[in-house]
Structure 1
């Protein structure tokens, strides 16, 4: 039984290739109920609705599949604007997506990519 459990852990660790994408929930009340459409290689994968918080931002985590090539185009579509980012697996396995308003009132989607997991508190 112990060997089977170890084998299962090893297979899940090395067999499951996924991008871990964290969507930061904004602290700006103007971005409450904003819908983000997530596309991976121009195919809709998920839709996220942002919920504004008053204190520290919260995070919603999604796992996106990886192809054998490991290179993908991640797009975040908001209203009539699409933000595109090239991502590579495994160098950029963990992704943090943040929506914020610029000083001129326009919406911008920022992205942070890294190989190791984020410490979100």
Structure 2
């Protein structure tokens, strides 16, 4: 029984293909309680509510499972705007998303992609 449990743990650890997405919590108070809807390959996978901070931005990290290697479509819905990003697995496994408020009052979502972990403090 112990061997079966150990095998199951090993398979789930190494068998799952995931994107690690970090959402930066903004310092701009106008973005407080802004809701982001995250879709991966047109399927809703996560809802994020941004919480504005006073000094340094904080990060909320989520793991998004993918079915296979290759190109995937990452979409972020904000209000009535959809931001589309093409990400490649496993080359761009770690993703950082940042919300900005433009001078015209519209929200923009920026993205950074890389294959190694970000050092967030």
TM-score > 0.5 by shorter chain: yes
State the SS of the aligned residue for 2:57: coil
Q: Any conservation in 1 of the 2:69–2:90 contact (CA below 8 Å)?
A: no
Q: CA deviation at 1:8?
A: 7.4
* Distance (whole Å) between structure 2 residues aligned to residue 16 and residue 38 of structure 1: 19
* Distance (whole Å) between structure 2 residues aligned to residue 72 and residue 82 of structure 1: 16
State the SS of the aligned residue for 1:14: helix
Match of 2:40 in 1: 40
Q: CA deviation at 1:14?
A: 3.1
* Distance (whole Å) between structure 2 residues aligned to residue 67 and residue 119 of structure 1: 26
* Distance (whole Å) between structure 1 residues aligned to residue 21 and residue 36 of structure 2: 13
Q: Return 45-54 or 14-23, whichever deviates more.
A: 14-23
* Distance (whole Å) between structure 2 residues aligned to residue 57 and residue 8 of structure 1: 37
Report how many aligned residue pairs link the two structures: 119
1:39-94: CA deviations, max 9, x gaps?
A: 11111111000000011101001100111243210000000000000011110000
Q: List structure 1 segments (4+ residues) > 6 angstroms apart after TM superposition.
A: 6-9
Match of 1:31 in 2: 31
Q: CA deviation at 1:11?
A: 4.3
Match of 2:105 in 1: 105
TM-score, normalized by length of structure 1?
0.88
